[in-house]
Amino acid sequence: MKTGRLIWLWAVLIGVGRLGAFDLITRDEVPYVITWEPGTITLQLKLPAPTRALTDGASSFNASVQAAMQTWNGIIGTVRFDSSVPPAGPNTAGNRINEVVLADKVGGEDFAANTLAVTVSYTIGDNRVESDIVFNATRTYDSYRGPLRADAYDLQRIALHELGHVLGLGHPDEAGQTVTAVMNSRIGNLYELQADDIAGARTLYGAPATVPANDAFASAATIVVTSPGLSVTGTNIQAGKEAGEPNHAASAGGRSVWWRFVAPVAGRLTVTTLGSNFDTLLAAYTGSAVGALTPLAGNDDAETPEQNPGDNRVRTSTITFDVAAGVTYYLAVDGWDGLFGQITLNLALAAAAGSPPVITAQPVARTVAAGASATFSVTATGGVLSYQWYFNGNAISGATSADYTIAGAQVANAGSYHVVVSNFYGSATSNPVQLTVTAPSVPVAPSSGGGGGGGGAPSVWFLGALAALAAGRRFAAMRR
């Protein structure tokens, strides 16, 4: 077995730094994130006893580190920290034991100026196998919450930061990011995990477990393939295996999740799990039921140099198969030997030659009365098509079919409408057409009262008319 190799030294510095978005530790500029295998990360806590009572009531510095460990345990899924407390002492680098110690040197050298602690990590392949946290013995420590004090550094918040490095998080501010984070390179007044810290850790290890929505074949997540290359993410934490489900890549697995897609064009599709943080199994199928599938391709370990560099342990899977336009395909991702974690699924479609859509029947302008419905339609050719309707130049949410109906149109709906029809090769835009909505006429209220055949008081209008008529008659009589 390889003894592992040093992958990174991470230090936390004195002072308040810039604000940053989470940064993940990767290997040799290859898009592998260095993570722990799912399970327990046990640390030996070998810190000496404090020389005075700790402000927050912690019984020891080791207890302060344990509190920081539980904070991380509360927000991540596939791994958790545990600890043992042997006698205080130095650490031994490269012994496959995770140790937390207090020392005046790290790796045989003095701490750099203003450095409070350093995390030293080792890897085999794409997995962490050892991480040691070394606190600078030349500094004074306490354990407390609130603003950073001048007389002593809060060991618990420093441990919270260093444990983030153990998990695989880097310094976001040193990666050019700008958000509030405990994982920024300089210690400050933050003593609780921030949203950015949590998002980074969950990218690596997921949230506390819930059953994935695409656990079952029948609930496979839908991928819409609209470009030559795209990636989707997911997890198989808490996933299971259905009765009658095949062994993916000829391995028993046990924690599968599913995706489905309709091939937009004919071509050759390559799918990989590059970027996933566990040893995956990958397979592709056609069929309509989990117990009646036709296998197309399956793979446990990739063999290409890009996905399996050097002698590193392989955990990426890759498959390539031909697809036909309009056919539904299913992809299953499982874990070798029942492993689980965060999944990145990458699709690259090399399509056969083709053309953008052609609109063969344009939408037609409509005039409707207020309250009536109005429907616009388009007809196009070009394989598997998608649609998006627009009103006065703005996309209409949910208007993604060949027909678009406005139920109960009002004057506010009047305006210009058009649709963009797309396929894998491009798009076509329809002619704009107008919707005219006519307002209803205002009815004239009928007169009330004074009519024949009914009782009731005559209306004011009727009395006024009688008076005018009588006056006219008197004027005519005077002229005789």
Tell me the DSSP string of 244-311. Answer: TPPPGGGS-----EEEEEE-SSSEEEEEE-TT-SS-EEEEEEEESSTTSEEEEEEESS--STTTS-TT
Tokens of 180: 């509030």
Q: Is the pLDDT of residue 297 over 90?
A: yes
pLDDT confidence tier of residue 473, bands split at 50, 70 and 90: very low
pLDDT of residue 464: 46
In angstroms, the CA 109 to CA 92 distance is: 14
Mean residue pLDDT of the chain comes to: 85
Identify the band that residue 113 occupies on the pLDDT scale cut at 50, 70 and 90: confident
Number of neighbouring beta carbons within 10 Å of residue 110: 11
Instruction: Write down the pLDDT at residue 42.
Output: 97
Q: Which helix (H) or strand (E) holds 329?
A: strand 328-335
Is 211 inside any structural domain?
Answer: no
* Local structure of 3: helix, strand or coil: coil
- Whether residue 163 lies inside any domain: the answer is yes
CATH number where 183 lies: 3.40.390.10
Nearest to 163 by CA among 12, 271, 329, 61: 12
Domain end marker among 318, 351, 384: 351
- How many CB atoms sit inside 10 A of residue 100's CB? 28
Is residue 166 scored above 80 in pLDDT?
Answer: yes
Residue 6 clears pLDDT 60, i.e. is over it: no
Q: Taking the alpha carbons of 212, 213, 214, 217 in that order, is the dihedral positive or negative?
A: positive
- Residues 29 and 141 occupy one common structural domain: yes
Q: Provide the domain count of the chain.
A: 3
Q: What is the pLDDT of residues 244-254, one digit of tens each?
A: 999 999 999 99
In this predicted structure, the answer to whether residue 315 has a pLDDT above a threshold of 50 is: yes
Alpha-carbon gap, residue 315 to 276, rounded angstroms: 8
Alpha carbons within 13 A on the beta-carbon side of 315: 28
Residue 382 has pLDDT above 90, yes or no: no
Q: State mean pLDDT over 107-132.
A: 88
CA–CA distance, 193 with 469 (Å, rounded to integer): 90
Question: Residue 78 has what pLDDT?
Answer: 82
> What is the domain extent for residue 52?
5-205
CB-count burial class (<10 Å; 0-12, 13-18, 19+) for 128: buried
Percent of the chain with pLDDT over 90: 60
Tens-digit pLDDT profile for residues 190-247: 999 999 999 999 888 888 878 899 999 999 999 998 788 899 999 998 899 999 999 9
Read off the pLDDT band of 17 (50, 70, 90). very low
Q: Does 151 lie in the same domain as 65? A: yes
Confidence of residue 107 (pLDDT cuts 50, 70, 90): confident
Are 259 and 291 contained in the same domain?
yes
Q: Which two tokens stand for residue 298?
A: 């399956």
Query: 173 falls in which pLDDT band (50, 70, 90)?
Result: confident
**CATH code, domain with 251:** 2.60.120.380
Cα dihedral value 208, 59, 141, 163, nearest 10: -20
User: Inter-axis angle of helices 61-73 and 155-167, to 10 degrees?
Assistant: 50
Residue type, 477: A
pTM reported for the whole predicted model: 0.57
Collect all residues with Cβ–Cβ distance below 8 Å to 473 and sequence separation of at least 6. none
- What is residue 447's predicted lDDT score, i.e. its pLDDT? 54
Is position 477 within any domain? no
d(CA 56, CA 146): 10
Residues 152, 272 share a domain? no
pLDDT above 70 covers a percentage of the chain that reads 82
Alpha carbon dihedral 468, 473, 474, 480, in 10-degree steps, equals 150
Q: Are residues 287 and 414 in the same domain?
A: no
Ramachandran sector of residue 253 (left: φ over 0; alpha: ψ -120 to 50; beta: rest): left
**What per-residue confidence (pLDDT) applies to 324?**
92
Question: Final residue of a domain: which of 293, 326, 351?
Answer: 351
Asked whether residue 454 is domain-assigned, the answer is no
How close are the terminal C-alpha atoms of the chain, in Å? 135
CB 129 within 8 A of CB 148: no
Contact status, residue 20 vs residue 74, Cβ threshold 8 Å: no
**Cα 411 from Cα 202, distance rounded (Å):** 48
In a domain, 308, yes or no: yes
| pLDDT of 414 | 97
Choosing from 205, 239, 270, the residue where a domain stops is 205
The arithmetic mean of pLDDT across residues 17-24, rounded, is: 40
Average pLDDT over residues 82-91: 93
10 vs 136: CA distance, rounded Å: 13
pLDDT digits (tens, 9 = 90+) for 435-461: 999 987 666 566 554 443 433 344 444
What residue type is 126 in one-letter code?
D
459 assigned to some structural domain: no
Residue 365: inside a domain? yes
Query: Is 265 in the same domain as 370?
Result: no
